[in-house]
Amino acid sequence: MILQIIVAFIVCWLNFVIIDVFLGLPERPGVRGVRQIAQSIKEYRGHINGGYMMGNIVCSPDASAGTLLASACYYAFSSPLGGLVAALAVFFGNRICSDPGYAGTTGALTTTLWIYLFSSYLGFQPEYFIAGMVLAIFTIQALHHRFSSKLLARIAKKLGVIE
């Protein structure tokens, strides 16, 4: 079981970081207020672009929220229908937070696909993905802000999103 949680953690981490970086979260503040969070992380000797991404995760439901809510609803509904309900809810959540992006919806749909594949072929339970996603967001938002913001900026540079 511990091994399955670790695999789910890696899948969730890659899923939400890659979608968020590709959809340009580290590039600029998406909604008002993100600038202040990024500035405080920069003053803590982190990286400003990593700070933008962390601020965007805080201020609007993005791919990380999509991943968590899709796995939570997949668990609650015991079927892929839950993932689709979560995608719809995240879409409206984005609009309520005046964020024009599609990161959350994309994240919820891809997570539904991953859980469907992993549970039908490898015997994973959706609750492993819930635990994996909580661990994944913990490593980004709560473990060490300086390190995680630099890591996010480095990934964004590798993928060619920022200079």
Partner 1 sequence: MIVELIGLITAYSAVMAILTEDTRRKMPYINAMNFGVTALIALSVKHPLSGVAALAYFIFSTMESNAIASTIDRLKEVESR
CB of 70 to partner 1, least distance (A): 10
Beta-carbon contacts of 156 under 8 Å, excluding residues fewer than 6 positions away, are: 21, 26, 27, 49, 50, 53, 162
If the CB atoms of residues 32 and 158 are measured against partner 1, the closer one turns out to be: 32
CB of 160 to partner 1, least distance (A): 26
CB of 88 to partner 1, least distance (A): 9
If the CB atoms of residues 108 and 163 are measured against partner 1, the closer one turns out to be: 108
Distances (CA, A) of 16 to 12, 24, 34, 111: 6, 12, 19, 9
CB of 7 to partner 1, least distance (A): 14
If the CB atoms of residues 113 and 125 are measured against partner 1, the closer one turns out to be: 125
Q: Quote the radius of gyration of the chain (alpha carbons, Å).
A: 15
If the CB atoms of residues 64 and 110 are measured against partner 1, the closer one turns out to be: 64
Structure tokens at 102: 């599609």
Structure tokens at 82: 């839950």
Residues at the contact surface with partner 1, assessed by CB under 8 A: 1, 5, 31-37, 39-41, 43-44, 54-55, 57-61, 64-65, 68-69, 72-73, 75-78, 82, 85-86, 89-90, 92-93, 96-97, 127-128, 130-131, 133-135, 137-138, 141-142, 145
Q: Dihedral (C-alpha) 60, 63, 69, 75: value to the nearest 10 degrees? A: 180
Name the residue among 133, 87, 148 with its Cα closest to residue 112. 87
Tell me 146's DSSP state.
Answer: H
CB of 101 to partner 1, least distance (A): 13
